[in-house]
Structure 1
Amino acid sequence: MTAPRIEAVLFDLAGTLTAADPTPDALLLLPQALPCLQQLAQRPLAAGLLPDQETRDSQPLRPLLKSVLTDSPSLRPFPAPDRVATLAVQMQADCLRHCVLVCGSADAVRAGLNAGLWTVGTALSGALTEQQMQQWEEQDSDTHDRLRLQATMTLMNAGAHYVIDSVNELGSCLDDIEVRLSKAELP
């Protein structure tokens, strides 16, 4: 019998691959988003996207994603598990406990937990507005530490299994989740 492996990685678009408040008219990916998705494609892990309700244009990401959730009126907003579970099922995951949700908000973390997934919170991209992200270089280290701590605590208090600054740190979390799955740990 083979050890359980991660079946799918789901991304909440806002706060992980884009700023916490993406503009509805343009999909402006964070610099670390594309390399992260390319690394997932090499693993190989199926990656799916939970787009923000206002952000429909995910065409640049489609070649790197197995599935993009199409919202319907019957899917309740976060923290209900509907959107997360529906995307995992669309991606043909056999076991939701073998799926990972990467998200930047406390409500999304709760939705992932409610669906039975492992959750990875992204503290900086999830906590910062697009304007704050652009001003990041101009801020001092005390401001960086304060923003990082606030966001990390918010995600941890929501129950996130892991909290990272951004998706470029996702690989080590996925490795650890696979070790934990091999030990029959559940999210």
Structure 2
Amino acid sequence: GCLAPLAVFVEVFQQNDVEITIAEAREPMGLQKRDHIAALCAHPEINARWSERHGRPPGDADIDAMYARTEPMMIAAAGRHADLIPGLLEFQSFAREHNMSIGSCTGYTRKIMEPLIERARQQGYIPDSIVTPDEVPAGRPYPYMCYANAIRMQRYPFEAMLKIGDTVADVEEGLNAGMWTIAVTDTGNEMGLSRHDFERLDPSEQKRRRVAVAQKLLAAGAHYVVDSIADCIALVSEIEVRLKTGDLPAQSIN
């Protein structure tokens, strides 16, 4: 549910006497965290609240100051939300059995990611490459993290690669990289719920929310939308067939 960063964004604005909602904090999710703060500052309603409180709109110095405070807060928050999502290890096993490499992209800096990488390793998830936005010219929606992963893993061409994510920025990143882009509904930012809270929903409410999330991610251009990352396994053979018939990601955007 991308829960770790949300409280941090709300708190760092509160430290500047500006209130933002969880829904507002969630909107730019997937971006590099400074870009996320900048996007929040550009949000018309947040910008108006800031201007009313401080007599001027937020500027670059304000964004930099908030971003500097978020990093230690993010490290602490991320550590509290570091369980692997359902289906990830199943997909990793499938990838290993089929000679597929796994590269990871993120909105977190390398410093924030380091303890998360170790937590993931302890739970059995070990990607072949991990690229953070501070290691490339720009984060999502630009494709540079995908490019860097491909170089590090020595894999090509991009039309034979999958980009799996759960945010609009993930979808845009994959499309910009020329990859088959698969969006996941149940465990991501757009659903916005912990596994426990999602499982407590009535099945009809789960379905209603899935449909709403799927519509948003399809509208962003995702080639496929699935409930769980494990559901991506069934799509690999389908995409292989499409490639053999000359179908390419750039020709197949919904």
Q: 2:178 aligns with which of 100, 116, 140?
A: 116
Instruction: Give the structure 1 partner of residue 78 of structure 2.
Output: 24
Per-residue CA deviation, residues 22-55 of structure 1 (Å, 9 max, x unaligned), is: 4412521023211221121111211111134044
Q: Return the alpha-carbon distance in structure 1 between the equivalents of residues 3 and 235 of structure 2.
A: 25
Letter in 2 for 1:123: T
Q: Return the alpha-carbon distance in structure 2 between the equivalents of residues 107 and 142 of structure 1.
A: 28
Q: 1:104 aligns with which of 166, 191, 216?
A: 166
Q: In the TM superposition, what are the counterparts of 1:74-89 in structure 2 within 5 Å?
A: 74-89=136-151
Q: Is the 8 A contact 1:96 1:115 kept in 2?
A: yes
Q: Is the 8 A contact 1:100 1:119 kept in 2?
A: yes
- The structure with the largest helix share of the pair is 2
Q: 1:128 aligns with which of 191, 196, 202?
A: 191
Q: Return the alpha-carbon distance in structure 2 between the equivalents of residues 147 and 130 of structure 1.
A: 11
Q: Does 1:58 align with 2:112?
A: no
Q: 1:34 aligns with which of 80, 89, 100?
A: 89
SS of 1:46's partner is coil
Q: Does 1:176 align with 2:226?
A: no
Q: Return the alpha-carbon distance in structure 1 between the equivalents of residues 99 and 135 of structure 2.
A: 32
Greater radius of gyration (CA): 2
Q: 1:137 aligns with which of 189, 196, 199?
A: 199
Q: CA separation of 1:157/1:69 partners in 2, compared to 1, >3 Å: closer, same or farther?
A: same
Q: Return the alpha-carbon distance in structure 1 between the equivalents of residues 78 and 219 of structure 2.
A: 29
Q: Does 1:146 align with 2:200?
A: no
- The structure with the largest strand share of the pair is 1
Q: Is the 8 A contact 2:107 2:133 kept in 1?
A: no
Shift of residue 185, structure 1, vs aligned partner:
1.2
Q: Return the alpha-carbon distance in structure 2 between the equivalents of residues 182 and 107 of structure 1.
A: 29
Q: Is the 8 A contact 1:25 1:55 kept in 2?
A: no
Equivalent residue pairs, number: 168
Tell me the C-alpha RMSD between the 2 structures.
Answer: 2.0
Instruction: Give the structure 1 partner of residue 155 of structure 2.
Output: 93
Give the alignment's TM-score, normalised by structure 2: 0.61
SS of 1:119's partner is strand
Shift of residue 167, structure 1, vs aligned partner:
0.7
Q: Return the alpha-carbon distance in structure 2 between the equivalents of residues 29 and 155 of structure 1.
A: 22
Letter in 2 for 1:30: I
Q: Return the alpha-carbon distance in structure 2 between the equivalents of residues 75 and 55 of structure 1.
A: 18
- Structure scoring higher RCO (CA < 8 A, sep ≥ 6) equals 1
Q: CA separation of 1:147/1:44 partners in 2, compared to 1, >3 Å: closer, same or farther?
A: same
Q: CA separation of 1:74/1:47 partners in 2, compared to 1, >3 Å: closer, same or farther?
A: closer
Q: Is the 8 A contact 1:103 1:121 kept in 2?
A: yes
Q: CA separation of 1:160/1:121 partners in 2, compared to 1, >3 Å: closer, same or farther?
A: same
Q: CA separation of 1:64/1:39 partners in 2, compared to 1, >3 Å: closer, same or farther?
A: farther
Where in structure 2 are there 5+ consecutive unaligned residues? 5-76, 250-254
Q: CA separation of 1:151/1:95 partners in 2, compared to 1, >3 Å: closer, same or farther?
A: same
Q: 1:49 aligns with which of 104, 108, 132?
A: 104
Give the alignment's TM-score, normalised by structure 1: 0.81
Q: Return the alpha-carbon distance in structure 2 between the equivalents of residues 119 and 32 of structure 1.
A: 18
Q: CA separation of 1:185/1:146 partners in 2, compared to 1, >3 Å: closer, same or farther?
A: same
Q: Is the 8 A contact 2:89 2:125 kept in 1?
A: no
